[in-house]
Amino acid sequence: ADPDPLQDLCVADLKASISVNGFPCKPLQEVKSDDFFFDGLSKEGNTTNVFGTNVTSADVRVFPGLNTHGLSVNRVDFAPGGLNPPHIHPRASETSVVIEGKLLVGFVTTSHVLHSKVLKAGEMFVIPRGLVHFQLNVGKGKALFLAAFNSQEPGIVILPTTLFVSTPSIPNAVLTKAFQIDAKVISDIRSKLGS
Protein backbone atom coordinates (compact mmCIF):
# COMPACT_ATOMS: atom_id res chain seq x y z
CA ALA A 1 0.00 0.00 0.00
CA ASP A 2 2.97 2.35 0.48
CA PRO A 3 4.43 4.40 -2.43
CA ASP A 4 7.15 2.75 -4.56
CA PRO A 5 10.84 3.41 -3.78
CA LEU A 6 12.65 5.86 -6.08
CA GLN A 7 16.14 4.41 -5.46
CA ASP A 8 17.76 1.16 -4.20
CA LEU A 9 18.27 2.30 -0.63
CA CYS A 10 16.83 4.93 1.62
CA VAL A 11 17.71 3.93 5.17
CA ALA A 12 15.58 6.13 7.42
CA ASP A 13 17.24 9.02 9.21
CA LEU A 14 14.83 8.90 12.16
CA LYS A 15 16.29 12.09 13.68
CA ALA A 16 16.27 14.27 10.56
CA SER A 17 15.08 17.81 11.20
CA ILE A 18 12.92 17.94 8.08
CA SER A 19 9.68 16.01 7.93
CA VAL A 20 8.45 14.23 4.82
CA ASN A 21 5.98 11.46 4.04
CA GLY A 22 8.04 8.61 5.57
CA PHE A 23 11.62 9.46 6.54
CA PRO A 24 14.51 11.15 4.69
CA CYS A 25 17.43 8.89 3.69
CA LYS A 26 20.64 8.84 5.66
CA PRO A 27 23.69 9.61 3.47
CA LEU A 28 24.62 6.61 1.27
CA GLN A 29 28.25 6.60 2.40
CA GLU A 30 27.06 6.02 6.00
CA VAL A 31 24.87 3.01 5.12
CA LYS A 32 26.04 -0.29 6.69
CA SER A 33 24.90 -3.90 6.42
CA ASP A 34 23.53 -3.61 9.95
CA ASP A 35 20.97 -1.09 8.70
CA PHE A 36 19.25 -4.02 6.96
CA PHE A 37 19.34 -6.29 10.01
CA PHE A 38 16.96 -6.39 12.98
CA ASP A 39 16.83 -8.90 15.83
CA GLY A 40 14.01 -7.31 17.84
CA LEU A 41 11.56 -10.13 17.09
CA SER A 42 13.77 -12.84 18.56
CA LYS A 43 12.45 -12.48 22.10
CA GLU A 44 9.07 -13.52 23.50
CA GLY A 45 6.93 -10.51 24.46
CA ASN A 46 5.55 -10.02 27.98
CA THR A 47 1.92 -11.17 27.95
CA THR A 48 1.16 -10.24 31.57
CA ASN A 49 -1.60 -7.71 30.86
CA VAL A 50 -5.41 -7.70 30.67
CA PHE A 51 -5.47 -9.09 27.13
CA GLY A 52 -2.79 -11.77 27.69
CA THR A 53 -0.95 -10.81 24.50
CA ASN A 54 2.04 -8.79 23.37
CA VAL A 55 2.70 -7.23 19.97
CA THR A 56 6.34 -6.56 19.09
CA SER A 57 6.68 -4.43 15.95
CA ALA A 58 9.45 -4.44 13.40
CA ASP A 59 8.37 -1.30 11.57
CA VAL A 60 10.43 1.58 10.18
CA ARG A 61 10.53 3.34 13.55
CA VAL A 62 12.69 0.58 15.02
CA PHE A 63 14.11 -0.91 11.78
CA PRO A 64 15.19 2.06 9.62
CA GLY A 65 16.26 -0.16 6.68
CA LEU A 66 12.56 -0.72 5.91
CA ASN A 67 12.14 2.91 4.84
CA THR A 68 10.49 3.22 1.37
CA HIS A 69 10.07 -0.56 0.97
CA GLY A 70 6.45 -0.86 2.02
CA LEU A 71 7.12 -3.79 4.34
CA SER A 72 7.08 -4.59 8.05
CA VAL A 73 6.52 -7.51 10.42
CA ASN A 74 4.96 -7.97 13.86
CA ARG A 75 5.51 -10.74 16.36
CA VAL A 76 2.45 -11.50 18.48
CA ASP A 77 2.76 -13.66 21.61
CA PHE A 78 -0.25 -15.11 23.44
CA ALA A 79 -0.63 -16.47 26.94
CA PRO A 80 -3.19 -19.32 27.18
CA GLY A 81 -6.57 -17.69 26.46
CA GLY A 82 -4.89 -14.47 25.28
CA LEU A 83 -6.72 -12.11 22.90
CA ASN A 84 -5.26 -9.66 20.40
CA PRO A 85 -8.30 -7.38 20.68
CA PRO A 86 -10.28 -6.09 17.67
CA HIS A 87 -8.10 -3.58 15.82
CA ILE A 88 -7.44 -1.92 12.46
CA HIS A 89 -4.30 -1.12 10.47
CA PRO A 90 -5.08 2.08 8.58
CA ARG A 91 -2.19 1.73 6.11
CA ALA A 92 -1.74 -1.99 5.38
CA SER A 93 -3.17 -5.39 4.59
CA GLU A 94 -1.78 -8.10 6.85
CA THR A 95 -0.89 -11.73 6.29
CA SER A 96 0.12 -13.85 9.24
CA VAL A 97 1.59 -17.29 9.71
CA VAL A 98 1.08 -19.20 12.94
CA ILE A 99 4.37 -20.42 14.41
CA GLU A 100 3.05 -22.09 17.56
CA GLY A 101 -0.33 -22.93 19.08
CA LYS A 102 -3.88 -22.65 17.81
CA LEU A 103 -5.53 -19.32 17.01
CA LEU A 104 -9.03 -18.22 16.09
CA VAL A 105 -8.46 -15.43 13.54
CA GLY A 106 -11.22 -13.28 12.07
CA PHE A 107 -12.06 -10.04 10.28
CA VAL A 108 -15.36 -8.30 9.58
CA THR A 109 -16.13 -6.70 6.20
CA THR A 110 -17.75 -3.29 5.76
CA SER A 111 -21.00 -5.18 5.13
CA HIS A 112 -20.69 -6.83 8.57
CA VAL A 113 -19.73 -10.31 7.39
CA LEU A 114 -17.32 -12.16 9.69
CA HIS A 115 -14.69 -14.32 8.00
CA SER A 116 -12.87 -16.47 10.51
CA LYS A 117 -10.88 -19.64 10.86
CA VAL A 118 -8.95 -21.64 13.45
CA LEU A 119 -5.28 -21.88 12.44
CA LYS A 120 -2.43 -24.07 13.62
CA ALA A 121 1.34 -23.91 13.07
CA GLY A 122 2.31 -23.21 9.45
CA GLU A 123 -1.14 -21.96 8.43
CA MET A 124 -1.86 -18.46 7.15
CA PHE A 125 -4.67 -15.93 6.96
CA VAL A 126 -4.98 -12.57 5.20
CA ILE A 127 -6.61 -9.46 6.63
CA PRO A 128 -7.62 -6.81 4.08
CA ARG A 129 -6.43 -3.28 4.77
CA GLY A 130 -8.49 -1.22 7.18
CA LEU A 131 -10.84 -3.99 8.34
CA VAL A 132 -11.47 -4.83 12.00
CA HIS A 133 -9.79 -8.09 13.01
CA PHE A 134 -8.74 -10.12 16.07
CA GLN A 135 -6.87 -13.25 17.12
CA LEU A 136 -7.78 -15.43 20.11
CA ASN A 137 -5.64 -18.22 21.53
CA VAL A 138 -7.94 -21.25 21.54
CA GLY A 139 -5.21 -23.83 22.17
CA LYS A 140 -4.08 -25.30 25.48
CA GLY A 141 -0.69 -23.59 25.76
CA LYS A 142 0.95 -20.42 24.53
CA ALA A 143 0.66 -19.26 20.93
CA LEU A 144 2.76 -17.19 18.55
CA PHE A 145 2.37 -15.78 15.07
CA LEU A 146 4.27 -13.50 12.72
CA ALA A 147 2.35 -10.94 10.67
CA ALA A 148 3.68 -9.27 7.51
CA PHE A 149 2.34 -5.91 6.32
CA ASN A 150 2.55 -4.06 3.01
CA SER A 151 3.50 -0.83 4.75
CA GLN A 152 6.65 0.30 6.57
CA GLU A 153 4.36 1.66 9.29
CA PRO A 154 0.91 0.06 9.16
CA GLY A 155 -0.33 1.82 12.29
CA ILE A 156 -2.75 0.21 14.74
CA VAL A 157 -6.11 1.39 16.04
CA ILE A 158 -7.04 -0.87 18.97
CA LEU A 159 -10.81 -0.48 19.29
CA PRO A 160 -11.34 -1.00 23.05
CA THR A 161 -8.52 1.32 24.12
CA THR A 162 -9.19 3.85 21.35
CA LEU A 163 -12.83 4.17 22.37
CA PHE A 164 -12.59 3.84 26.14
CA VAL A 165 -9.22 5.17 27.25
CA SER A 166 -8.41 8.04 24.89
CA THR A 167 -7.00 11.35 26.18
CA PRO A 168 -9.12 13.29 26.72
CA SER A 169 -11.96 10.80 27.05
CA ILE A 170 -14.75 10.45 24.52
CA PRO A 171 -17.79 11.92 26.37
CA ASN A 172 -20.03 9.37 28.08
CA ALA A 173 -22.98 10.73 26.09
CA VAL A 174 -21.29 9.38 22.94
CA LEU A 175 -20.42 5.95 24.34
CA THR A 176 -23.68 5.32 26.22
CA LYS A 177 -25.66 6.05 23.04
CA ALA A 178 -23.28 4.22 20.67
CA PHE A 179 -23.22 1.01 22.68
CA GLN A 180 -26.66 1.36 24.38
CA ILE A 181 -25.10 0.93 27.82
CA ASP A 182 -25.11 2.77 31.16
CA ALA A 183 -22.35 5.12 32.24
CA LYS A 184 -21.53 2.57 34.96
CA VAL A 185 -20.51 0.02 32.32
CA ILE A 186 -18.24 2.62 30.74
CA SER A 187 -16.48 3.40 33.99
CA ASP A 188 -16.08 -0.34 34.62
CA ILE A 189 -14.45 -0.83 31.23
CA ARG A 190 -12.24 2.24 31.78
CA SER A 191 -10.97 1.03 35.12
CA LYS A 192 -10.20 -2.42 33.74
CA LEU A 193 -8.40 -1.18 30.63
CA GLY A 194 -6.48 1.46 32.56
CA SER A 195 -5.29 4.58 30.80
Applying CB under 6 A, the residues found at the interface with ligand GLV are 55, 74, 76, 84, 94, 133, 135, 147
Say how many Å lie between the first and final Cα of the chain, rounded.
32
Which CB sits closer to ligand GLV, 23 or 149?
149
Cβ nearer to ligand GLV, comparing 25 with 76 = 76
CB of 126 to Mn ion, least distance (A): 11
- Judged by beta carbon, residue 55 or residue 189, the one nearer Mn ion is 55
**Which among ligand GLV, Mn ion, none contacts residue 76 (Cβ within 5 to 8 A by kind)?**
ligand GLV
Q: Which residue number places its CB atom closest to ligand GLV?
A: 74
Q: Which is nearer to ligand GLV, 57 or 68 (CB)?
A: 57
Site for Mn ion in 90-119 (CB under 5 A): 94
59 binds, among ligand GLV, Mn ion, none (CB under 5 to 8 A by kind): none
Q: Give min distance, CB of 105 to ligand GLV, in A.
A: 8
Nearer to ligand GLV, 68 or 84 (CB): 84
Number of Cβ within a 10 Å radius of residue 132 = 16
Asked if 91 and 153 count as a contact pair (C-beta separation under 8 A), the reply is yes
Residues that bind Mn ion (CB under 5 A): 94
